[in-house]
Chains A and B, each alone.
Chain A
């Protein structure tokens, strides 16, 4: 039974996401679209499963939700901070590059972390080393590099690591 379900739904999360996106795109929850969306959401992952060798598993959904909340809040704060920096004088800005040593190993976790870094506190992720161990980050204004690295690791990397572990 379980293997059959595996075969029909190789990527259950992808199926759910596709279904949701379909309903949002059509902006309805009419019965017809629910069925059509469901058919597509089952067929597409099945047909494209060759392109998704990696199985995604979410370990603790609650941590993920909490993480999303934190990130949304930080985006809000980061926007104001960056707006202030942009409107201030260029001379006072102290841009800089720094490397973050990564603890996460899953590709999805790393890409989510890089995305989060780009969206939040005045930092843009620039490059990932080939061995996927270090992430190069550029900051618009940075005073204390070790403290920033520590904050990113504690605030974003730790929850992501908890949610997406290799399996």
Chain B
């Protein structure tokens, strides 16, 4: 039973990490590609870390909470790096897909 729970969590994690990578590959422009790693991956890595915490908590009969820290750092750093990259991309006027609403072409970001 316990192994079922772990395997499910790992598969969920792997699936969402894969979706994040697929997004990085197939989405048409830079700004849209940013969405893959900031979101799909958080749940993917989150599920993997929960699986790890559960496994080690049972294996060594002691609560293992390292993983909480990794999750917290991930949640803090992923949006920050995405924000910086987006800001830089706007600054150098990276091209955006034509159907983007309110395109940022001029240097409107005061």
Contacts and interface: CB of A to CB of B under 8 A. Distances in A.
A161 to B, nearest CB: 19
A142 B86 contact: no
Interface in B64-110: 64-66, 68-69, 75-76, 78-80, 82-83, 86-87, 90, 96-97, 99-104, 109-110
Contacts of A63: none
A24 B22 contact: no
Contacts of B29: 95
Given A82-B39, A95-B31, A97-B101, A118 B65 contact: no
A140 B99 CA distance: 12
A96 B101 contact: yes
B92 to A, nearest CB: 13
Category for how many chain A residues contact B: 35 or more
Interface of A: 21, 24-25, 27, 75-76, 78-79, 82-83, 86-87, 90, 93-98, 114-115, 117-119, 122, 124-127, 129-130, 136, 138, 140, 142, 145
Interface of B: 16, 19-20, 22-23, 26-29, 31-32, 34-36, 38-40, 42-44, 64-66, 68-69, 75-76, 78-80, 82-83, 86-87, 90, 96-97, 99-104, 109-110
